[in-house]
Amino acid sequence: MRDDLNPLFDYAEALSGPVPEYLHLLVRETNLKTLSPQMISGHLQGRILALLSKLLRPQRILEVGTFTGYSALCLAEGIAPGGELITIEGNPEVAWIAQKYFDASPYAEVFRLQSSKAGEYIENQLSGHFDLIFLDADKRNYTNYFHQLIDRLNPGGLFISDNVLWDGRVVDPEDKEPDVRALDEFNRMLANDPRVETVVLPLRDGLSVARRI
């Protein structure tokens, strides 16, 4: 059953929070002004991201794929004092919405929004190490992003990836759609990489949480 038709999911959402008011406003604007509002991290997933960040207290966060900024705002809730959150978005129209909400949030000073193609920025401009990496970009490059970034993740850090179940299609070996097969390859690669321990959560479109050993 789809999450949006599942009364247990509605129950879990209703009892998970609180959610800051600026996130409600961001959801509304995303629905009004973007062509694919379903790309936004939802209420329950956002609370999970916020809680993981609060537990880890990361000094540096990297997000690959900002969209309108919902997930970045959730991750910022747990960032350590003086911390930094770098987020990369290739679409300047949605990046503009994200920046507006970053600037109006209590965490305005932590955000570093890069309007750039993710692969090029990671390869040529990104520096330093991170305590938490959130991946929510083009699915066919998930494995490439992982290999580019895993050595930048500090021991004990989290590598979190969104949409890893792709509406449940990854379990169908007959589904040859490139995004589906790329995500299945990525999930299996993570499961077998000795540098991380991984849990795949069947939440919304699938959320993978890998801890760097």
Residue (of 7, 112, 135) closest to 60 by Cα position: 112
pLDDT tens-digit map of 159-212: 999 999 999 999 999 999 999 999 999 999 999 999 999 999 999 899 999 999
d(C-alpha 71, C-alpha 41), whole Å: 6
> What are the structure tokens assigned to 178, written together?
């490139």
Element holding 167 (H helix, E strand):
none
- Based on the number of CB atoms within 10 Å of its own CB, is 102 exposed (0-12), middle (13-18) or buried (19 or more)? buried
Residue 83 CB neighbours (<10 A): 19
Average pLDDT of the chain is 96
pLDDT tens-digit map of 68-101: 999 999 999 999 999 999 999 999 999 999 999 9
**Domain boundaries, position 84:** 3-212
- Compute φ and ψ for 132, nearest 5 degrees: -150, 130
Residue (of 134, 212, 145) closest to 185 by Cα position: 145
Q: What is the CA radius of gyration of the chain?
A: 16
pLDDT computed for residue 40 by the predictor: 95
Checking if the pLDDT of 11 tops 60, the result is: yes
User: What three-state secondary structure class fits 162?
Assistant: strand
Tell me how many domains the chain contains.
Answer: 1
Checking if the pLDDT of 1 tops 80, the result is: no
Contacts of 115 (CB under 8 A, 6+ apart): 89, 90, 92, 95
pLDDT computed for residue 6 by the predictor: 84
- pTM of the full structure: 0.96
User: What three-state secondary structure class fits 44?
Assistant: helix
pLDDT computed for residue 86 by the predictor: 98
**Mean pLDDT value of segment 10-15:** 95
d(C-alpha 131, C-alpha 33), whole Å: 33
7-14 and 43-56 helices cross at what angle (nearest 10)? 50
Checking if the pLDDT of 2 tops 70, the result is: no
d(C-alpha 84, C-alpha 117), whole Å: 20
**Mean pLDDT value of segment 26-51:** 96
CATH number of the structural domain spanning residue 77: 3.40.50.150
